[in-house]
Amino acid sequence: MKFNPALVVIGTLAAGPALACTAPTPPTSIPDGKTASKDTMLAKKKEIDQYKRKVEEYLACEINPARVQMAQAELDRIANRFNAEIRAFKAANGG
């Protein structure tokens, strides 16, 4: 059997989309810190931590700078919103 480099290139290009990075789906909502229970806030923290890990994996994989920037901006937006609700939760519950 003869080795054909052209087939290797075609096979690699065809497999490319299957190996493409997929941006994770952000959490659907952030609880209101003024009214949410501690259990609700802790559950959302776990969800956001998991999302952060998935974004970090995505950022390590993605090579398109615009997509990297958008994913990082979305993570920052969600983290900032949740941190604001954590402050509201602490203020409503005595620290």
Give pLDDT, residue 4. Answer: 61
Which pLDDT score is estimated for 6?
54
Alpha helices in the chain (DSSP H): 5-15, 38-61, 65-92
Looking at residue 19, what is its pLDDT? 56
CA–CA gap between residue 78 and residue 75 (Å, rounded): 5
Rounded to whole angstroms, the Cα distance separating 40 from 37 reads: 5
- What's CA 1's distance to the chain center, in Å? 46
Q: What is the CA radius of gyration of the chain?
A: 20
Picking from 10-14, 39-43, 55-59, 86-90, which range would have the lowest pLDDT averaged per residue? 10-14
Does 16 or 30 have the greater pLDDT score? 30
Longest Cα–Cα distance of the chain, Å, equals: 76
Contact 45, 82 (CB under 8 A): yes
Average pLDDT over residues 15-35: 82
User: Is the pLDDT score of 3 beyond 70?
Assistant: no
